[in-house]
Structure 1
Amino acid sequence: MTILDHKIDFAVVLSVTKANPNGDPLNGNRPRQNYDGYGEISDVALKRKIRNRLQDMGESIFVQSNDRKSDSYNSLRERADANAELEKILKSKTSSGDDFARIACQEWLDVRSFGQVFAFKADKGAGVSVGVRGPVSIHTATSIDPIDITSMQITKSVNSEPGAARGSDTMGMKHRVDSGVYVFYGSINTQLAEKTGFTNRDAEKIKQGLVTLFENDASSARPEGSMEVHTVYWWEHSSKLGQYSSAKVHRSLTIEKLIDEPKTFGDYKFTVHPLEGLRVERIDGQ
């Protein structure tokens, strides 16, 4: 496989309709919102969805969700120990962090894409504390306009525990964003790609994951069809450093309101202003 030899920038436009795109555990699981009222989806949540999509494509993933893991391991340590070469390093008293990182990057696509911190206690060996910096960086998704959050009180129809009286646990709250259009940006760095072994094929997999970001992602908080990727903008530079900075490339995508109070994707106009020598690929979401 050919190591990625040119810088890549991307932007993703998505919409939310009566769903909770990313609950804040410190705020009663209400949809994330900044102090100015704009909705947010954390980069961690976005990477989780990309990992899930890569896993659906048959790729080997290190950080798997317990509810959709493709192996029998219940922890990251167990998954690392299952690799004979990594297990040997973990048990060695003179372990090499560089060797550990190299093998982990070869084994798992998410490690060589996003990076990973490996901090495992010593068993019989010296243990390991290794940080891998990944070439794929992703911003927090932010809504174009402030969002409105609707909260409703819900009840369960049965008690969790035996008892004649209705328990307090039958009451709860559910929150949603009625409508909102979000944008997030990202880049793929060639210098870090060389270190982790990130290839051109890996970049295509990331692109495919972005286009199909919400497939197999439905839940009670995000019903099927409530989250949609509308457009992925994909810029491929002609050199390792790129013709332009990522900030300038991302700013080339401008957003114009078509009505006073936009709610849906169709209420905005998205325009990519051309940068000399840099072509953008516009891909409709699936």
Structure 2
Amino acid sequence: MTQTSSPLRNRYEFLLLFDVENGNPNGDPDSGNAPRVDPEDGHGLVSDVALKRRVRNYVQAAGEQIFIQHGTNLNRPIFQAKQASGGGSKGKQDVDAARRWMCEHFYDVRTFGAVMSTGANAGQVRGPVQLTFARSLDPVFAIEASITRGAVAEDIKNAKTLDDFLNWEAQQDEDKLRTMGRKSLIPYGLFATKGFVSAHLAQGTGFSEADLKLLLEALLNMYEHDRSASKGLMSSRRLFVFRHVGTDSDPQQRARQAVLGCAPAHKLLDLGQVIEVRRKDEHKPARALSDYEVTVHLDRLPAGVELLDLDSWDEARYHDGWQSR
């Protein structure tokens, strides 16, 4: 498990740019699963829950255990934690022991946090990593495309043998053996999501440097392992990671600055500050990443903050690729 190294000692923020081509990046169940769109300005949205789901799927495929899995009862691992930590009562010490067990064994608990008081009480964990809703840089145009399926799924009354089904099919007109459907998509959208990593909260969950590296790897690769017809082509394009290292000459003060931060998050993450993304031609709709120009302004990077620019996961660059003003 990746949490065996010591907890983080630096605050981090990150900005992820990802795009979708001819797909539905995040369906809204309240709108017939159409792409999520801000009704006031037409910009596309992807929920933080959807992004965390992709991260969970990736780290699980990479061999980590996760708490929130598809089609499971969450009270089962909570009960397991109570048993494994030797606690059967609801006392504070037993709850704390179960919470520590959950953080040690489940990557998503020590990363995103969890409410674990729904059955056998394992308390609550406030995760050091949080994500915002992703938002498209420009308004998106949602399309409802009609599709045809050259088959039906009909319940044939009194059909008891294979011949009954074959005879029924032979009696139908060809048009009766087709069905129509709808498919929601957007032709193209470039999205940005902002993330925050608290070194202070990492001390409480055991979220480590190794966990952070796996998180960044997952953000860059999560769509490579999440292909579906409805999603079209989704790709993580650029990941900008900001690390607070401090400026003070005194080691203790510098370590304090590294944990608490050297600049507000909005001065790092707001587009147009350090990272600028501009559409090359404002008069035609974007249909590819090449329609945008991404500029990094290192001269605007606050003192005491380093920047790592990744377009794919590279362990060597993680160690040696940090830049400062």
Find the aligned partners of 1:273 and 1:86 in 2 and give their Cα distance.
51
Identity of aligned residues (%): 31
Find the aligned partners of 2:32 and 2:74 in 1 and give their Cα distance.
28
Q: Residue in 2 aligned with 1:69?
A: none
Worse-matched range after superposition: 265-274 or 182-191: 265-274
Find the aligned partners of 2:30 and 2:141 in 1 and give their Cα distance.
19
Worse-matched range after superposition: 196-205 or 80-89: 80-89
State the TM-score, normalizing by the size of structure 1.
0.87
Structure number with the bigger relative contact order (C-alpha 8 A, sep ≥ 6) is 1
Which amino acid counterpart does residue 58 of structure 2 have in structure 1? R
8 Å contact from structure 1 (residues 159, 170) kept in 2 = yes
Find the aligned partners of 1:15 and 1:253 in 2 and give their Cα distance.
17
Which amino acid counterpart does residue 218 of structure 2 have in structure 1? G
Which amino acid counterpart does residue 255 of structure 1 have in structure 2? V
State the TM-score, normalizing by the size of structure 2.
0.77
Give the deviation of 1:87 after TM superposition.
Answer: 7.3
CA RMSD of aligned residues (A): 2.3
Find the aligned partners of 1:57 and 1:129 in 2 and give their Cα distance.
26
Equivalent runs, 1:218-233 vs 2, <5 Å: 218-223=227-232, 226-233=233-240
> Which ranges of structure 1 fall in alignment gaps of 5 or more residues?
67-73, 122-126
Q: Residue in 2 aligned with 1:6?
A: 10
Q: Residue in 2 aligned with 1:254?
A: 276
One of 278, 288, 293 as aligned partner of 1:269: 293
Which amino acid counterpart does residue 228 of structure 1 have in structure 2? S
* Structure with the larger strand share: 1
Q: Residue in 1 aligned with 2:121?
A: 128
> Which ranges of structure 2 fall in alignment gaps of 5 or more residues?
157-167, 246-257, 314-325
CA offsets, 1:10-61, max 9 Å, x none? 1111111001110000000001101110001100000000111111111111
Worse-matched range after superposition: 6-15 or 253-262: 253-262
Give the deviation of 1:78 after TM superposition.
Answer: 2.1
Find the aligned partners of 2:68 and 2:306 in 1 and give their Cα distance.
34
Q: Residue in 2 aligned with 1:215?
A: 224
CA offsets, 1:243-286, max 9 Å, x none? 11111111222222211134121122222323133221111147
Which amino acid counterpart does residue 142 of structure 1 have in structure 2? R
* Structure with the larger helix share: 2
8 Å contact from structure 1 (residues 80, 86) kept in 2 = no
Which amino acid counterpart does residue 140 of structure 2 have in structure 1? I
Shift of the 268–262 alpha-carbon distance from structure 1 to 2, 3 Å rule, reads: farther
8 Å contact from structure 2 (residues 111, 127) kept in 1 = yes
